[in-house]
Amino acid sequence: MKFRWYPKELRFQLVISFFLIVLLTVAAIGIPVIWVISQQLNDQAWSQVGQGFQASQALYTAKQYELENFATLTAQRPTLRTLLEMDDRQELEEYLTNLQTGAEIDAIIICDEHDNPIGFSGGLDPATGCSWVNDGGPHSTNSSGTAQVWLAAVDSIPQDDSTPTTVVVGVNLDEQFAEDMRSQTGLDHTILFDSIPVASSLIEKITFTLDKAQPTSENGAPPEYLTSVQEVNGVRYYSTLAPVDGGHIQFAVSLDATAVAATQKQLVIILISSLAAIAMLGSAVGVIIARRISSPLEQLANTATTFSRGNLKHPVSIDERVLEVAQVAQALENARVDLQNMLSVLQSEKDWTDHLLGSIVEGIITLDKEHKITFFSPGAERITGWTSEKVLGAHIDDVFGLAQSKVPFSGHIPPAGEKRNLDVTMADNRQANLAITRAQIAPPTAEKVLIALVFRDVSGEQAMHRLLGQFLANIAHEFRTPLSALGAAIELLMDQAADLTESELKELLNSLHLGALGLQNLVDNLLESASIEAGRFHISPRRNNISEIVSEAVTIMRPLAEKYGQRLTIDMPLVVPAVHADFRRTTQVLVNLISNASKYGPPDAPIKLSVIPEHEWVQVQVADCGPGIPTSKKDMVFQRFLYPQGLDDSAKSGVGLGLSVVKAIIEAHGGKVGVEDRKDGGAIFWFTLPKVNEGEGA
């Protein structure tokens, strides 16, 4: 007998009754509890905002007091008075810089009797700072169109001549200050000027529109100022805004209410989950009570439906109270076991086949007699970029287009057992050279003929062969030219040395020197490139004077520049900090860059070397007047086997190693390399080296 669910059935009414009773019970208990806990969470959150607000006020007061003490101590310093009497501005500003650094404040300004700056240090405009002489406390100013807020303190400097001189010290209430306040109070901190945020520890600044209000302390927040709950990018914040010292500058403390909202949400989820779980449990109890005896036939029908959906994991429940039903159930169980074993064997074979095909790096395609794709392996997907879903059933000529042939792909399929290389257009429109072989899966007389194509991408191999040939040709050319010049000069010396004048001898010797220099630089680059490729490249950095490195490189390359009438000019400050560098390797970097500048620059053109000290680095630039670097090649100019200008003129092409060696040497020092366009034409190649820290030895 097959049971159905009808509203008048006892089992239906019992299940519904259990469900409603459980639902109402859990709701009656859970909803008030959640409301009470939510209120407590809100009160605790506002209490935390109030504590953070009071802590922030105390920190601002302490910071102002600290500034006032520092201003007083600074004004009383004898050294400061002596420097003012000596009227030595440079010494004064160095002294102020040391004071500022030691005290970890952002600005110190000395103002004269007319409130004009006579010495300053830090990021505050001195004229603006002197305008605060008659009024300490918080101030605002603009820097590059951006509002800034400062805490400042002022004190007079006693002097014998009774000239009123004032010291102004200040701390910038910037993003770092807001982060410091956040770390001390545990709440996000925002600083505003006329209600506009200028610095905040929040990633997204909150725009506050809070006005001073009547006391509202019932939610646990500070009673003096209005509070609000605001939402930024889906995140809720409990915030309180207050002025700093009663001016246009305000600060706000904000508590991320995500945790409160998450807890409330979790409580709701727990309530709903409890309702669902208990309702299901109650329903199950109702079903058990209503259906103490279920129909065996209904169970068997449900089991058969489960089998038809492919679920063979669960055994058939056999009710032995009825013999015929038990026999049918046993027959179904035997059929389930046999089907499950057969499907397991088939699945294992399929998994093995898929794993085997997936592990083959070559692509495998099968075609029917109409050259339509019937199988597309994972290797074929990786090589071509096509997915099997897109190409199955498609004609091979519609998928594989040939780059330089009017004959379709099917016309180039090689005979069985042979290989053929074809340039094929891939899914992303790139060209790839594929090595293709063919196999016949079924004889031509069979009703269903399948052709299997196995292919692999040999574009890299072909490109490497071409690149290696070009590299060897360039090597031969690079060696042949200086060797020919050396041979000619040596032959001339051997035959006519006695008859040559001193200037002619000097010119021949200079030619020999340049040839040897070129060969040495080429061999150095080859050796460095080989050591980089083999993983044996290393440097020995130590304290060195960059001017000595530049002088050594210029001395080596000056004969080459003079040969072409090129002028080597050096732009270097009088005092250059020491660098942490390998002298020989860095000299090699400069020699490579100067050699390129000479090679690609026109005769009688200058080559400029510039040394520019930076914060923690020293930048060295080599500027030429050549054709420059095309924009499309700037990102790969420091790769091996690529030439700086990408020119086809063999007279000016090299082996493509110099700039790659430059990059490897500089990056081994921890520096950077780059190339820029020169304003008047040409290119500027630059690199950086780390400065030696003060007190650091060799």
pLDDT tier at 309 (50, 70, 90 boundaries)?
Answer: low
In sign, the C-alpha dihedral spanning 202, 208, 213, 216 is negative
**More confident call, 4 vs 309:** 309
Q: Are residues 450 and 490 in the same domain?
A: no
**More confident call, 559 vs 187:** 187
Q: What is the mean pLDDT of residues 414-433?
A: 79
pLDDT tier at 531 (50, 70, 90 boundaries)?
Answer: low
pLDDT tier at 652 (50, 70, 90 boundaries)?
Answer: very low
Orientation of helix 502-534 relative to helix 583-600, angle to 10° = 120
Lowest-confidence pick of 26-40, 472-486, 658-672: 472-486
CA 271 – CA 279 distance, rounded (Å)? 12
Lowest-confidence pick of 231-235, 472-476, 504-508, 657-661: 472-476
CA 379 – CA 383 distance, rounded (Å)? 6
Does 266 fall in a domain? Answer: no
CA 551 – CA 544 distance, rounded (Å)? 12
Q: Which helix (H) or strand (E) holds 285?
A: helix 258-290
**pLDDT exceeds cutoff 80 at 214:** no
Q: What is the pLDDT of residue 387?
A: 85
pLDDT tier at 675 (50, 70, 90 boundaries)?
Answer: very high
Does 210 fall in a domain? Answer: no
**pLDDT exceeds cutoff 60 at 129:** yes
Tell me the CATH number at 374.
3.30.450.20
Q: What is the pLDDT of residue 511?
A: 59
Lowest-confidence pick of 100-114, 395-409, 468-482: 468-482
- Amino acid 668 reads A
In the chain, pLDDT over 70 holds for what percent of residues?
66
**pLDDT exceeds cutoff 70 at 663:** yes
Q: What is the mean pLDDT of residues 27-53?
A: 79
Q: Are residues 414 and 428 in the same domain?
A: yes
Q: Are residues 301 and 441 in the same domain?
A: no
Lowest-confidence pick of 253-262, 330-339, 352-361, 578-587: 352-361
* CA Rg value for the chain: 42
Give the bridge partners for 434, in sequence order. Answer: 422, 457
Q: What is the pLDDT of residue 469?
A: 52
**pLDDT exceeds cutoff 50 at 211:** no
For the segment 281-298, what is each residue's pLDDT rounded down to a tens digit?
Answer: 766 666 665 555 445 656
**pLDDT exceeds cutoff 50 at 380:** yes
Q: What is the pLDDT of residue 144?
A: 58
Lowest-confidence pick of 11-20, 102-111, 682-691: 11-20
Q: What is the pLDDT of the chain when averaged over all its residues?
A: 75
Q: What is the pLDDT of residue 391?
A: 82
**pLDDT exceeds cutoff 80 at 109:** yes
Does 566 fall in a domain? Answer: yes
Last residue of a domain, one of 533, 556, 586: 533
pTM recorded for the entire structure: 0.39
Q: Where are the beta strands (DSSP E) in 271-404?
A: 363-367, 373-376, 401-402
Question: How many domains are there within the chain?
Answer: 5
Angle ∠(33,34,37) on CA atoms, nearest 5: 85
DSSP 643: -
**More confident call, 61 vs 143:** 61
Q: Which residues contact 40 (CB under 8 A, 6 or more apart)?
A: none
Q: What is the mean pLDDT of residues 54-77?
A: 87
Q: What is the pLDDT of residue 691?
A: 92
Does 19 fall in a domain? Answer: no
**pLDDT exceeds cutoff 90 at 622:** yes
In sign, the C-alpha dihedral spanning 670, 676, 678, 684 is positive
DSSP 691: B
Q: What is the mean pLDDT of residues 445-465?
A: 68
**pLDDT exceeds cutoff 70 at 662:** yes
Phi then psi for residue 635, to 5 deg, are -75, -15
Q: Are residues 447 and 474 in the same domain?
A: no
pLDDT tier at 515 (50, 70, 90 boundaries)?
Answer: low
pLDDT tier at 13 (50, 70, 90 boundaries)?
Answer: low
Q: What is the pLDDT of residue 534?
A: 57
**pLDDT exceeds cutoff 90 at 276:** no
Q: Which domain holds residue 401?
A: 360-457
114-131 b/e (C-beta count within 10 Å ≥ 16 → b): ebebbbbbbebbbebbbb
Q: What is the pLDDT of residue 25?
A: 75
Tell me the CATH number at 549.
3.30.565.10
CA 239 – CA 221 distance, rounded (Å)? 9
**pLDDT exceeds cutoff 90 at 551:** no
Q: Are residues 513 and 603 in the same domain?
A: no
CB atoms within 10 A of CB 667: 13
Q: What is the pLDDT of residue 657?
A: 66
Q: Are residues 564 and 646 in the same domain?
A: yes
Locus of tokens 């910071």: 63
Beta pairing, strands 567-571 & 606-613: parallel
CA 497 – CA 75 distance, rounded (Å)? 81
**pLDDT exceeds cutoff 60 at 583:** yes
CB atoms within 10 A of CB 194: 11
**pLDDT exceeds cutoff 60 at 204:** yes
Last residue of a domain, one of 457, 490, 525: 457
Does 450 fall in a domain? Answer: yes
**pLDDT exceeds cutoff 90 at 507:** no
Q: Are residues 400 and 348 in the same domain?
A: no
**pLDDT exceeds cutoff 90 at 579:** yes
Tell me the CATH number at 474.
1.10.287.130
Tell me the CATH number at 329.
1.10.8
Task: Please state the three-class secondary structure of 606-647 as a single string.
Answer: EEEEEEEECCCEEEEEEECCCCCCCHHHCCCCCCCCCCCCCC
**More confident call, 655 vs 296:** 296
Does 259 fall in a domain? Answer: no
Q: What is the mean pLDDT of residues 144-173?
A: 80
pLDDT tier at 584 (50, 70, 90 boundaries)?
Answer: confident
Q: What is the mean pLDDT of residues 536-555?
A: 85
Q: What is the pLDDT of residue 609?
A: 94
Q: Are residues 111 and 150 in the same domain?
A: yes
Q: Are residues 449 and 426 in the same domain?
A: yes
Q: What is the pLDDT of residue 448?
A: 61
**pLDDT exceeds cutoff 70 at 510:** no
**pLDDT exceeds cutoff 90 at 621:** yes
Q: Are residues 573 and 645 in the same domain?
A: yes
Q: What is the pLDDT of residue 649?
A: 45
pLDDT tier at 499 (50, 70, 90 boundaries)?
Answer: low
Does 499 fall in a domain? Answer: yes
Last residue of a domain, one of 533, 563, 586: 533
Q: Are residues 679 and 557 in the same domain?
A: yes
Q: Are residues 630 and 551 in the same domain?
A: yes
Does 82 fall in a domain? Answer: yes
Alpha helices by DSSP H, listed for 360-437, are 378-384, 388-391, 396-399
